Amino acid sequence: MTRTAFDIGKTRTSLFRAILDARAAYGASTPILEDPERAPVSYGRLVLGSLVIGAKLAAMTSKGEAVGVMLPNVNAVAVTLLGLSAYGRVAAMLNFTAGSKNLRSAVETAQVRLVVTSRRFIDTAKLDEVVTALEETETAGGERVRMVYLEDVRGSVTSLDKAAALAKSFVACWVHSRHASAPDEPAVILFTSGSEGKPKGVALSNANLLANMRQIEAHIGTPPLGEGQVVLNPLPVFHSYGLTGGLLLPLATGMRAVLYPSPLHYRQVPKMAKAVGATILFGTDTFLQGWARAAEGGDLDTVKVVVAGAERVRDQTREMWGKSGCVILEGYGATECSPVIAVNQTFDNRAGTVGRILPAIEVRLEPVEGLHDAGRLVVRGPNVMAGYMLSDAPGEVQPPPDGWHDTGDIVSIDGDGFVRIRGRAKRFAKIGGEMVSLAAIETLAAGLWPGASHVAVTLPDPRKGEQIVLVTDKPDAERGPLLAHAQAQGYSELWVPRAILVTAAIPVLGSGKVDYAGTQELARTMRPML
pLDDT the model gives residue 55: 93
Residue 204 to residue 215: CA distance in whole angstroms: 15
- Same domain as 437, residue 323: no
pLDDT the model gives residue 431: 62
SS3 track for 244-267: HHHHHHHHHHCCEEEECCCCCCCC
CATH number at residue 469: 3.30.300.30
- Same domain as 357, residue 475: no
CB distance 291 to 283 below 8 Å: yes
- Same domain as 340, residue 233: yes
- Same domain as 445, residue 358: no
Whether the model clears a pTM of 0.85, i.e. scores above it, the answer is no
pLDDT the model gives residue 435: 60
- Same domain as 77, residue 152: yes
pLDDT the model gives residue 4: 74
* Domain-located, residue 2: no
Full residue range of the structural domain in which residue 19 is found? 8-410
Residue 455 to residue 476: CA distance in whole angstroms: 16
Residue 99 to residue 88: CA distance in whole angstroms: 29
Task: Name the nearest CA neighbour of 14 among 89, 71, 70, 69.
Answer: 89
CB distance 86 to 177 below 8 Å: no
pLDDT the model gives residue 511: 59
Task: Name the nearest CA neighbour of 42 among 26, 56, 54, 58.
Answer: 26
- Same domain as 400, residue 445: no
- Same domain as 468, residue 320: no
* Domain-located, residue 425: no
Residue 437 pairs in a beta bridge with: 428
CB distance 210 to 182 below 8 Å: no
pLDDT the model gives residue 443: 81
Give the end of a domain, one of 354, 379, 410: 410
pLDDT the model gives residue 225: 86
* Domain-located, residue 304: yes
* Domain-located, residue 417: no
- Give the neighbor-by-neighbor strand order of the sheet with 419-424: 362-366, 375-380, 405-413, 419-424
* Domain-located, residue 18: yes
- Within 61-185, strands assigned E span 66-69, 90-93, 114-117, 146-149
- Same domain as 308, residue 377: yes
* Domain-located, residue 1: no
CB distance 355 to 367 below 8 Å: no
Give the end of a domain, one of 378, 410, 442: 410
- Same domain as 437, residue 349: no
Give the end of a domain, one of 410, 443, 478: 410
Instruction: Count how many domains the chain has.
Output: 2
pLDDT one digit per residue (tens) for the chain, 530 residues: 666 788 888 889 999 999 999 999 999 999 999 999 999 999 999 999 999 999 999 999 999 999 999 999 999 999 999 999 999 999 999 999 888 888 999 999 999 999 999 999 999 999 999 999 999 988 777 789 999 999 998 888 888 877 877 888 877 888 778 888 999 999 999 998 654 557 899 999 999 999 999 999 999 988 888 889 999 999 999 999 999 999 999 999 999 999 999 998 999 999 999 999 999 999 988 889 889 999 988 899 999 999 998 888 888 889 888 887 899 999 999 999 999 999 999 999 999 899 999 999 999 998 877 677 888 899 999 999 999 999 889 999 999 999 999 998 889 999 999 999 887 666 666 565 556 777 778 888 888 888 788 888 877 765 556 678 888 888 888 888 888 887 777 666 767 888 888 888 888 776 567 777 778 778 877 765 55
CATH number at residue 133: 3.40.50.12780
CB atoms within 10 A of CB 369: 7
- Same domain as 437, residue 353: no
Helix axes 75-86, 43-58, angle to 10 degrees: 60
CB distance 72 to 262 below 8 Å: yes
Q: What is the dihedral of CA 331, 335, 338, 343, to 10 degrees?
A: -10
CB distance 174 to 153 below 8 Å: no
* Domain-located, residue 416: no
Instruction: List, for residues 163-220, the tens digit of each pLDDT value.
Output: 877 888 877 888 778 888 999 999 999 998 654 557 899 999 999 999 999 999 999 9
* Domain-located, residue 76: yes
- Same domain as 97, residue 226: yes
- Same domain as 472, residue 369: no
